[in-house]
């Protein structure tokens, strides 16, 4: 098993953001995480990636416990993530932003540049290599953030709201790019998203969270039909009135 989360709890004062979350992620799988705003999805991502320390529970990656590890060690062990609010260096070029990811594995500037150029080619971003990322439209900025994460050479790639702000054509293009990258880099993907077309198209299995708890998991087509999932998104009155 690539990733195992066991009875994870994250509390902020008296608020339980994640309550007793458990699940497994197999190598090579694409796992989706959905739920309404405030469900605790990003908190769970942050606990796995090392930005938050869980209050209780355990996280294992490829059999090794990584609970409470800081982000740089989580990255080095083979987990990379993108952010809902993109965190790029605005005064560095696209190529230099991707090189930052490569420096996770090498201190040689020439090697980092070569690896960045290869990833930019994979992401169809070579024409933007010398441009500042803030000069690009949001769809290309998201590709830059994705390229930087890939430059860390992960085995597990976690994507937070990758399709947010994209139009239908851009969403289709990023889905196709991720499918291609997954195969070429042999990645396992864990993604959270509000755009249902994105997550239901990509995911092989889906976990649903609501109010900090996991309420169900299963195949996308099966999960989407469950009354408790409809209730979590649209309210109890809607679910009962169907």
242 residues of the chain, pLDDT tens digit each = 999 999 999 999 989 999 999 999 999 999 999 998 889 999 999 999 999 999 999 999 999 999 999 999 999 999 999 987 777 888 999 999 999 999 999 999 999 999 999 999 999 999 999 999 999 999 999 999 999 999 999 999 999 989 988 999 999 999 999 999 999 999 999 999 888 788 888 999 999 999 999 999 999 989 888 888 888 765 554 445 44
Domain assignment present for 76: no
Domain assignment present for 61: no
Handedness of CA 63, 68, 74, 76 (dihedral sign): negative
Contact 27, 201 (CB under 8 A): no
Domain assignment present for 108: yes
Structure tokens at 171: 């969403």
Overall domain count for the chain: 1
Contact 97, 89 (CB under 8 A): yes
Domain assignment present for 142: yes
CA distance linking residue 221 with residue 90, whole number of Å? 40
Contact 199, 206 (CB under 8 A): yes
Domain carrying residue 95: 88-153
Domain assignment present for 120: yes
CA distance linking residue 11 with residue 43, whole number of Å? 10
Whose tokens are 């993604």? That residue is 191
Contact 148, 100 (CB under 8 A): yes
Domain assignment present for 134: yes
Contact 125, 148 (CB under 8 A): no
Domain assignment present for 100: yes
Angle at 155 between CA 209 and CA 224, to 5 degrees: 25
Cα of 214 vs its chain's centroid, Å: 17
Domain assignment present for 13: no
CA distance linking residue 29 with residue 21, whole number of Å? 19
Handedness of CA 94, 97, 98, 99 (dihedral sign): positive
């Amino acid at each position: 098993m690539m990733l195992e989360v066991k009875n994870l709890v994250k509390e902020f004062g008296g608020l339980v953001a994640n309550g007793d979350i458990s699940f497994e992620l197999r190598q090579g799988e694409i796992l989706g995480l959905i739920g309404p705003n405030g469900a605790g999805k990003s908190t769970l991502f942050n606990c796995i990636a090392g930005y938050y320390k869980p209050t209780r529970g355990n996280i294992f990656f490829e059999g090794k416990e990584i609970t409470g590890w800081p982000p740089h060690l989580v990255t080095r062990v083979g987990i990379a993530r993108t952010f809902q609010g993109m965190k790029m260096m605005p005064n560095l070029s696209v190529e230099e932003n991707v090189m930052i990811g490569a420096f996770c594995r090498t201190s040689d500037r020439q090697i980092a540049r070569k690896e960045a150029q290869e990833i930019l080619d994979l992401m169809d971003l070579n024409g933007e290599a010398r441009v500042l990322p803030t000069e690009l439209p949001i769809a290309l900025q998201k590709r830059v953030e994705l390229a930087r994460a890939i430059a860390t050479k992960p085995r597990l790639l976690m994507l937070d709201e990758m399709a947010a702000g994209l139009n239908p054509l851009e969403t289709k293009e990023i889905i196709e790019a991720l499918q291609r990258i997954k195969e070429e880099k042999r990645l396992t993907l864990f993604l959270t998203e509000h755009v249902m077309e994105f997550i239901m198209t990509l995911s092989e299995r889906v976990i649903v969270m609501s109010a900090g708890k996991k309420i169900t998991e299963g195949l996308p087509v099966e999960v989407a039909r469950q009354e408790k999932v409809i209730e979590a998104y649209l309210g109890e009155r809607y679910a009962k009135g169907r």
